[in-house]
Chains A and B, each alone.
Chain A
Amino acid sequence: MNAKRGSRVVLGLAFASAVVSLVPLWYLGVQSFSTGIESFAGEIFQSRTFTLIVRSVVLTSTVAAGSVIIGTFAAWVTTLSGVKGRIPLTIAFSLPLALPSYLSAFAWVSWIPSLSGFTGASLVLTLACYPYVMLPVAAAMSRLNPVHEDIARTMGRRQREILKEVVLPQVRRPIASGALLVALYTLSDFGAVAAMRHEVFTWVIYGAYRAGFNPTRAAALSVVLVAAAIFITVGETLLRGRHYSPGHGEPERARMNRTSAKTYIVAAVGSVLVLVPAIVIPVVAIASWIGRTTTRRVEWATVLDATAQSFLNGSITALVTLALAMPVAWCAVRNTSIMARIPERLSYLTHALPGIVVAISIVYVGIRVARPWYQQTPLLVFGQVIIFLPVMIASIRTAFEKTPRGLEETAQTLGADSIRTFLRVTLPIALPGLLAGSALTMLAAVKELPVTLLLRPTGMDTLSTKIWDFSTISDYAAVGPFAVAMLLLAALPTALLGAMSALRANR
């Protein structure tokens, strides 16, 4: 296959993936206009909608800003600061990914009830989301040319000025793409705002289902979230600035600077200030639930079963998401035409939708066009893939960016066709990045609830459905073992992710 035809095939695949992620729009279109354009307008154009927009914007920008600050700091600590123990630190900073926002929010609010509201919601979401900024920024920072810092130093700059004038401008793009994921996630999150009783769009959308029994209203409000996603995605495109490649694919150079005592102090104090509220407090709170009195015995067999099921579902979801994300990421990085960037951008559109809306959309479409798969694993996986596609794309596109194009060309001159070049050159080099993306997706899939709850095969229990089940009857003692199992299960890919990120940075 010649290279040109090959790239057209990949572009086609990328568009196919993007279309998959747009399936919810079909349902939203049909459902929100089911009672006519007027009632749709009636649902949207209310003064309350405006208030909601303001509240959502405030929460989203607070969480995005907080995540950028903490995530960039964490990336700095684990790469440029030169502080020893990079691998354990990266793992520790990645651990919040293992905590579902509904659990940590509940842990916080049951400990400090006055935290509920905006403060608590932004706290919990920021601490849950900053790794989405940290991971790409750390990868970019470790690829920066250390000589730039040397030169800036010889030209009279201090550490702080170097960060501001030399380092940050060069990692603007990963910061922007991390912030994009965080913003869209915040818009879609329900767990944290529910536990914190902070009214934003998702709250009202869930309310429309749970209390209003009004799917049309939920769909109409979801359309606003899609519009918000478009707005944010476009905003990110404007903010991200240019991409500064690390040179001609040359190997990263070792950093020779010694770390000053001041740097150590800043890194240590900052890390403690982040890690204690992000990890220690929620984990201790959750672990303490086990000790509470309960009428039930802990059935470890059930816990094990649910853990195995979660692991299995997460793995399948991660693999399928990876397969769909690869052509999209590949096009966004390698194909220079404007067309090639469209699939990636499209995949973000549904990323601000709350899980329940995606789930109901899949129900709507699934029962019509995929009846045999309805309430079977394939549709469950399909639903989760839609939710996690952007996360996967974002994390693996860095991996493809790292593969020097020259190497691929070399392989092709040696007689390998495009497919073989991809399999034998590009893939092996990008593999750590692909693994990292898969780990991230698996983590998210294990924590995911609304889609699992509605689309799982009848009788299938995962850790998140069990946790939900017990928490609806307020049996937190019974939630404990499942929550701990989830933390342990999620800690595995997190550790892998952290270690991989640190190793990549080390290389």
Chain B
Amino acid sequence: MKPLRHVIAAIAGLALVTSACGNSNSSQDTDVDSSVTVYSGRSEELVKGLFDAFTEETDIAVNARYGDSGELAALLLTEGSASPADVFFSQDAGALGAVEDNLTELPEATLSMVDSKYAAASGKWVGITGRVRVVVYNPGLAPTPPASIDELLDPKWKGKIGFAPTNASWQSFVTALRVLRGEDDAEKWLRAFADNSPVAFEKNSAVRDAVNAGDVAVGLVNHYYLLEKIAAEGAAAVVAKNQFMKPGDVGGLVNVAGAGILAKAKHGVAAQKFIDFLQSETAAEYFRTKTWEYILTKNAVQPEGLPAFSELNAPSIDLSDLKSLDQTQELLQKVGLLTK
């Protein structure tokens, strides 16, 4: 019984403290690299299977602590050098950027596995998978869907665009917009977008479902939401389609999930093995069939039914710049697109 185990652990912890010595994790540390502690900003439901596969392949146990990427970043910063974490596996680049000072530089072999624009300039983290911003559309209502963010401002889409204002990927897109076009033009675009009366949903999946049901014609989401629905309900049940943005359009931003190793990691070897595993074909296969994300490892086979990654020609942006999310939220606030 799992709960019982924790009680025993708690009592053991108490015993240890009263005897005023030792470290409750010591039992696991006899063999230095027999385990690796991962702070995962990616949901347990998404990556637990992958971690299990790693353990199966390497015999290294994964102690995973799941949480929100930003909160885990705050946790790492607060823990400082005492952190029990070896690896930070983040849902986005911003959180990785925030803890760069606590990370160690990755070996060249690791970094060179991906296009340099999907790794930190400092070499402290590497992108693993990518999520592409797309316009999901209902062909019945939008026979010619917009292929750039400026086309979205066309009055013909007034009241017909769905978006999820609190979603992190949407906010990353706005950050990219600010970075690429400058604050003033970004605000101009957002105001025009707001004037087009977009419909707010609480989640990306709700946007997708609304498009599929014909409640709105188009929606701003990540590419995999559609694939997820097709996998769940079968292709026949899904009428909506993905429209990828024109090459270079900021609306086609690629957000990455990436990983880095803590400078003070106690299990450095295992941590590196873990990163290697994330870049392996086993992991690629997992992502292809479970999360439908683009694999950032060069020359990787991509999930079925997606345009080739190289064709996307995503906008050029230093992903570390995406950490100015709080200014983005302030701007969204200002133009009335975030809260009510």
Q: Could you list which residues of chain A lie within 8 angstroms of chain B, going by C-beta atoms? A: 27, 48, 106, 109-110, 113, 116-118, 194-199, 203, 207-215, 217-218, 293-296, 305, 308-309, 312, 356, 360, 363-364, 367-368, 370-378, 450, 453-454, 457-461, 465, 469-470, 472-475, 478
Contact = CB atoms under 8 A, between A and B. Distances in A.
Contacts of B71: 209-210, 356, 450, 453-454
A73 B14 CA distance: 46
Contacts of A377: 6-7, 9-10, 13
B70 A213 contact: yes
B6 A457 contact: yes
Interface stretch (B42-50, B115-123, B152-160): B42-50
A372 B74 contact: no
B4 to A, nearest CB: 8
Interface string B50-68: 0000000000000111111
Given A372-B23, A458-B64, A460-B6, A211 B203 contact: no
B338 interface: yes
B17 A472 contact: no
21 contacts: A110-B206, A197-B339, A198-B339, A198-B340, A199-B338, A211-B94, A211-B171, A211-B326, A212-B325, A212-B326, A213-B94, A214-B98, A305-B2, A363-B75, A368-B82, A372-B16, A372-B22, A372-B24, A378-B13, A458-B37, A460-B2
B95 interface: yes
Contacts of A473: 43, 45-46
Contacts of A478: 45
- A-B CB proximity, top 7 nearest: A117-B340, A212-B326, A213-B98, A210-B70, A377-B10, A211-B325, A199-B339
A367 B82 contact: yes
Contact of A211 (B7, B168, B200): B168
Nearest to A213: B98
B19 to A, nearest CB: 10
B77 interface: yes
A502 to B, nearest CB: 32
Contacts of B328: 211
A355 to B, nearest CB: 11
A454 B99 CA distance: 17
B196 interface: no
Contact of A113 (B43, B63, B200, B233): B200
Given A295-B228, A305-B1, A453-B67, 6 more contacts: A113-B201, A207-B325, A209-B70, A308-B2, A461-B2, A469-B44
Contact of B329 (A207, A356, A370, A372): A207
Contact of B3 (A211, A312, A458): A312
B70 A199 contact: no
B84 interface: yes
B326 A215 contact: no
Contacts of B135: none
Contact of A372 (B17, B83, B97, B201): B17
B323 A376 contact: no
The size class of the interface chain B forms with chain A is 35 or more
Contacts of A472: 43, 68
A109 B202 contact: yes
Nearest to A462: B3
A8 to B, nearest CB: 27
Nearest to B172: A211
B333 interface: yes
Contacts of B16: 372
A360 B64 contact: no
B29 interface: no
Contact of B24 (A207, A217, A376, A453): A376
A137 to B, nearest CB: 33
A404 B128 CA distance: 67
A487 to B, nearest CB: 20
Contacts of A196: 340
Contacts of B75: 360, 363, 454
Most interface-central of B23, B79, B95 (chain A CB within 10 A): B79
Contacts of A360: 74-75, 78
B165 interface: yes
Contact of B95 (A203, A213, A309): A213
B232 interface: yes
Contacts of A457: 6, 9-10
B231 interface: yes
Q: Is the interface of A mostly helix, strand, loop or mixed?
A: helix
Contact of A469 (B22, B66, B203): B66
Contacts of B3: 305, 308-309, 312
Contacts of A367: 78-80, 82-83
A197 B340 contact: yes
Contacts of A113: 200-202
A332 to B, nearest CB: 30
Contacts of B45: 296, 469-470, 473, 475, 478
A215 B44 contact: no
A106 B78 contact: no
Contacts of B212: none
Interface in B172-204: 200-204
A356 to B, nearest CB: 6
Contacts of B9: 376-377, 457
Nearest to B81: A367
B74 A309 contact: no
A50 to B, nearest CB: 14
B166 interface: yes
B321 interface: no
B171 A363 contact: no
A211 B95 CA distance: 8
Contacts of A296: 45
B203 A474 contact: yes
Interface string B242-261: 00000000000000000000
Contacts of A363: 75, 78-79
Nearest to A203: B339
Contacts of A305: 1-3
B202 A376 contact: no
Given A305-B3, A367-B79, A372-B23, A199 B64 contact: no
A312 B7 contact: yes
Contacts of A215: 74, 77-78
Nearest to A308: B3
Contacts of B44: 469
B211 interface: no
B165 A197 contact: yes
A375 B333 CA distance: 36
B73 interface: yes
B330 interface: yes
Interface in B82-111: 82-84, 94-95, 97-99
A293 B73 CA distance: 34
B43 A373 contact: no
B326 A375 contact: no
Contacts of B1: 305, 308
B11 to A, nearest CB: 9
Contacts of B14: 378
Contacts of A454: 67, 71, 75
Contacts of A453: 66-68, 71
A192 B202 CA distance: 13
Interface string B28-42: 000000000100000
Most interface-central of B22, B44, B94, B340 (chain A CB within 10 A): B340
B205 interface: yes
A210 B74 CA distance: 8
Contact of B65 (A356, A458, A475): A458
